[in-house]
Amino acid sequence: MPPIAPTITATAPRVSTTPVETRNLWDEVVASVRAEYMSEVQNYPWIIGFSGGKDSTVVAQAVFEALLQVPPSWRKRHVHVVSNDTLVESPLVIAHLTKMQMTLREMADSLRLPVTVATTRPAADKTFWTLLIGKGYPSPNQTMRWCTDRLKIQPTSRYILGNVSAHGSAIVVLGVRLDESKSRRNSINKFQNLANSNLTPHSELRGAFIYRPIVHLTIDDVWEILGEREPPWGSTHRDLIQLYRDAAGGECPVVLSTDEAAGCGTSNSRFGCWTCTVVEKDKSLQGIVTSGNHRFSALIEFRQWLRNIRNDPRYRSVERRNGEIRFNPRGELIQHVPGPFTIQARKMILDKLLTTQGMYGDTLISADEIEQIHAIWADEISRPIKQRGERNE
């Protein structure tokens, strides 16, 4: 693999307190991004992990402003703005993200910028509903968060590795910051930058590197930039700011590795999937209801019900999907580990989901997913457990 460009690591920006300091701080960030983009040693594509939240929006703005400062003939490096849609995203968040993607795409096309706006989604047989209702996976919890890998990590990793294969390497541009949380700080500090470089080898994607252009910004810096700097694609960040006010939460950003997965489904990541049963209470959806969007109450009630039935033995099989019966030692006791939801329970969940969909007034599960689910059920009923070849899940 060709050597990575030796770029000078930017000095940690200072905390801003006035509009002038915010402008100077922002100019430093954009200048650093421009210098990194124009590296003469390597020309690997950039892949921006874009969730539509505050941090990834600031990163996208920095990259687009930097591109506009680069002469057209020097815009050799391609930029991919990649979002992940789990298909069970918070509806208001996915609506905002879709609008932002359309705006970025229109700007890139009109100015002929080397930018591709893309969305990754889970494979048809690995969506939340096909796994939970189709195969009977129990609702995710802290010890069994199967959703993060299937819905988030795998789809986006495939996109990144496709670019690594095509170009020899790829650079993932992330809006992560040291002051987000202790776990985020530990994750960032775990891997050292390459010598004289802003790049860090990705912990799990071979051939990919991480670039964190706003790693030293504080939360105050981010909000000041969003409040005072108009985006190059026009309008303002007012809609994004209002979304945060209504939902009273942070976002669950693009997740690319198990190191980053710990923040998804916690009190620090409240803009996640509306179906998230890992958290005890969905603060973002509750905030949206409190702000006047009462139809989202149906989603809150369904999520809570799904969380409540998870460990009810009436709805769980004795055997695992591979036919195994598992027991775990609990001190002096031996505890049975239940298998997937029974077929009857899965039918009950689907019926309740369709009822909730009617109350909500918009699509929560697609016709294709329902077809997949029925096919899985038919296959499961027609074949003995031991012939299914399932892993112990």
Residue 230: per-residue pLDDT? 93
Residue 39, pLDDT > 80, answer yes
Is 208:159 a contact under the CB 8 Å cutoff? no
pLDDT for 70 beyond 90: yes
Exposure of 75 by Cβ count < 10 A (0-12 exposed, 13-18 middle, 19+ buried)? Answer: middle
Give dist(CA 261, CA 151) in Å, integer: 12
| Residue 91 in this model has a pLDDT that exceeds 60 | yes
The pLDDT of residue 264 is above 80: no
**pLDDT category, 59, cuts 50, 70, 90?**
very high
Assigned fold of 19-261: Rossmann fold (3.40.50)
What number is the average pLDDT over the span 13-41? 83
Q: Assess contact for 380 and 343: CB atoms under 8 A.
A: yes
Q: Percent of the chain at pLDDT above 90?
A: 64
- Answer with the residue of higher pLDDT: 255 or 296: 296
pTM above 0.75, yes or no: yes
The answer to whether 172 and 159 have CB atoms below 8 angstroms apart is: no
Lowest mean pLDDT among 15-29, 105-119, 357-371, 379-393: 379-393
Strands 199-201, 208-211: pairing is antiparallel
So what's the pLDDT on residue 6? 34
Question: Mean of the per-residue pLDDT values for the chain?
Answer: 85
Instruction: Please report which confidence band the pLDDT of residue 42 belongs to, taking 50, 70 and 90 as the band edges.
Output: confident
Confidence of residue 195 (pLDDT cuts 50, 70, 90): low
What is the signed CA dihedral for 272, 120, 350, 281, rounded to 10 degrees?
A: -10
66 in Cβ contact with 33 (< 8 Å) = yes
| 3-state SS assignment for residue 82 | strand
Residue range 76-88: mean pLDDT, rounded? 97
Residue 104 has pLDDT above 60, yes or no: yes
Task: Please give the Cα distance from 94 to 2 (Å, whole number).
Answer: 38
Cα–Cα distances (Å) from 392 to 9, 136, 221, 261, 281, in that order, read 45, 13, 46, 22, 29
Mean pLDDT confidence for 121-140:
96
Query: Under a CB-based contact definition with an 8 Å cutoff, are residues 275 and 88 in contact?
Result: yes
Whole-number Å distance between alpha carbons of 320 and 286: 35
Q: Which of 75, 11, 1, 24 is nearest to 229 (CA)?
A: 24
Report the alpha-carbon distance of residue 185 to residue 177 in Å, rounded. Answer: 7
Q: Which of 304-308, 328-332, 385-389 is predicted with the least confidence, judged by mean pLDDT?
A: 385-389
- Evaluate if residue 261 carries a pLDDT over 90: no
Asked if the model's pLDDT at residue 11 lies above 60, the reply is: no
What is the torsion angle, in degrees rounded to the nearest 10, for the CA atoms of residue 198, residue 199, residue 203 and residue 205? 150
Question: How high is the pLDDT of residue 138?
Answer: 95
Of 19 and 332, more confident:
19
Average pLDDT over residues 199-218: 93
Report yes or no: 45 and 209 within 8 Å, Cβ to Cβ. Answer: no
Report whether pLDDT(224) > 90. Answer: yes
Residue 166 clears pLDDT 50, i.e. is over it: yes
Quickly list H helices, the chain.
19-37, 54-69, 91-111, 128-129, 146-147, 154-167, 182-190, 219-228, 238-247, 258-261, 283-290, 297-308, 343-360, 367-382
